[in-house]
Chains A and B, each alone.
Chain A
Amino acid sequence: MIPEAEADAKLATRAAGANVLQPIAAARPELISGSADLHGSTKNYIKDAGDFLPGNYSGRNLLFGIREHAMGALLNGVAYDGIWRASGATFMVFADYLRPSIRLASLAGLPVIYIFTHDSVGVGEDGPTHQPVETVSGLRVMPNLDVIRPCDTEETAGAFVAAMERQSGPTVLSLTRQGVPNINSASADERRQGVLKGGYVIKRETAELKTIIIATGSEVQHAVAAADELGAGTRVVSMPSMKRFDEQDDAYRESVLPSLCSKRIAIEAGVSDLWYKYVGSQGKVIGIDRFGISAPGNTVMEELGITPASVVSAAGA
């Protein structure tokens, strides 16, 4: 249903999401898609589905205006009613504006889909007010909320399917503003299916396993680049959803993160805390434990050490 991307395409995952949303919306007419005045940036407008307007209630795109909290509470009401599949969007950093409603959706087990874009300091010039650092992990700690941060076009396709299929609670799709390359060390199908398991080997070692690098979203490209430099004994694990990975059986988790390999590094453009449960006490985390900076996104990432060189350096130390 969802066509594969060109292998050498470089696309923001929010733009990949827009491409994935259209065939899903065509196949599932019960899907409605709202945005808090950011459809142009969050890119979740359903083409040809019309707007839900005063007195003309046939459109499937909801224009919430700059009312994120009302959006959250309304989406819950739509989900309680059960006729339509509710989704809504804003920038990741504004998730906090509707967090009380996300909490209730999680508690009540409502299958609401949140499309939160601009999900890291990669936002760039708008600066620290608009650059989430604690937000994504802050959402991950909420019970029954699935937070999925895909790394490329294929993982984004898998993430949207995972969100649509989940009935027992809400899903956050954490998407980038900036372009990211496709990670072709795994097949398109492996990446799509990998999302459903939460974490999987996206680049396998070709010699005896020495080092594991774990990453999500826009940082998977850095993990892969570092692995190329570190040599054949390096494995890269993409971990788009901690919740889904944690729910896999022991054998699967052991196959992805063998306990004998304690040399582990995680990299994500956000607070480091949660990653220690995967890298262990011997491991290292390259994260951002401070607020961001106003500058072009690439510059901010480099300034804050979110680079392949940081991973290589951590592995060598």
Chain B
Amino acid sequence: MHKDILQKAASEARGLAIDAVHACKSGHVGLPLGTAEIGAALYGSELNVNPDKPRWLNRDRFVLSGGHGSMFLYGWLHLAGFDLSLDELKNFRKLGSYTPGHPEFGETAGVESTTGPLGQGVGNAVGFAVSQKMAAAAFNTEEHTILDNHIVVLAGDGCIQEGVAHEASSIAGHLKLDNLIVIYDSNDVTLDAMAEKSQSEDTSKRYEALGWDVVTIDGHDFDAIGQAFSAAKAAKGKPQLIIAKTEIARSIEEVAGTSAGHGESGAIKHSEKARESLGLPEDRFHVSDDVRAYFDDLKRKRIENYNTWESTYDAWAEANPGLAERLVWGASAPLDAV
């Protein structure tokens, strides 16, 4: 990973989240600020996606289970070159924008599922993982592998507390879904208070007991994120939990690391000082030329990678016309909205 430019991108993504929330005076900065390095590692390096083809069959699927942190998704989709303009970020949460308060499937290119009610995204991701395991079994052949992607989830303390996430994680462990990677944004904070007031379980042990591989890392350390992610992608036989210890609302000094950092108030009251500490210029919604250039170059590589896959797909389709006909149904319906 190119740590220097990714760190700069993370600062600018933090700026985009602060500016969007500041502009509409609502939303949540805690998650996008706390997980900016994770976002930079995923969208700036690790995710196998093609921004020009957001429904590509063999893309890595990313689900933001903590949907309140929608500016995380919008910021990184914009930087990675998906069809989401800077003007859309400026219109965050406004009528008719592609940037609704919580991510809504079908509204925004690159948004895989409608999230916000906590825990649902974890369950959706297990469903994606089931779908892809079933599809790999049905459509890959000995000669051609056309499906070998991963499902990546970012979930917070709230998601991990919800019962639906536990049920879904339980069946994912039982089914040995090793194409599933959950990144737990563990910042020890919930909305009302520090999480310790309502949470004292050992989540690592709970997930190990459910049949998952678990690793705990510093969620602001690019080397640690990269190593954990590579290991998770290579692992076989178990779903993967990466517990990333993070500081909520990092860079807004007055509220960072506390429940006051969860919502909009930090961005409204302290945005100028926070932007200064991030090294951002006075102009809001700033993206530097070198960050743009980095992501432009990355997008070219991602499209090359897609083209390589497409030639494999074409060879597969020619050799297996019956299978290709069956798969078309899924690739075309019912999701042409994005």
Contact = CB atoms under 8 A, between A and B. Distances in A.
Residue from A65, A84, A86 with most neighbouring chain B CB atoms (10 Å) = A84
Interface stretch (A68-76, A141-149, A229-237, A288-296): A68-76
Nearest to A30: B329
Interface stretch (B113-121, B188-196, B247-255, B305-313): B113-121
Contacts of B237: 55
Interface in A57-115: 57-58, 60, 62, 64-65, 67, 69-70, 72-84, 86, 100-101, 103-104, 107-111
Nearest to A54: B176
Contact of A108 (B61, B114, B123, B125): B114
B131 A101 contact: no
Contact of A80 (B105, B137, B327): B105
Contacts of B168: 67, 70, 73-74
Contact of A107 (B114, B126, B329): B114
A167 interface: yes
Interface stretch (B14-22, B259-267, B278-286, B330-338): B330-338
A58 B137 contact: yes
Interface residues of A, number: 42
Nearest to A83: B330
B164 A101 contact: yes
A258 interface: no
B104 interface: yes
Interface in B132-166: 132-138, 163-164
Contacts of A76: 113, 120, 123-124, 127
A74 B329 contact: no
A82 B61 CA distance: 13
A73 B126 CA distance: 8
A81 B171 contact: no
Contact of B334 (A62, A65, A167): A167
A167 B335 CA distance: 9
A278 interface: no
Given A57-B137, A64-B171, A81 B131 contact: yes
A104 B171 contact: no
A62 B123 contact: no
Interface in A212-249: none
Contacts of A111: 334
Given A52-B175, A80-B105, A67 B333 contact: no
Given A80-B127, A108-B105, A108-B106, A73 B164 contact: yes
A73 B131 contact: no
Nearest to A64: B171
Interface of A: 29-30, 32, 52-58, 60, 62, 64-65, 67, 69-70, 72-84, 86, 100-101, 103-104, 107-111, 167-168
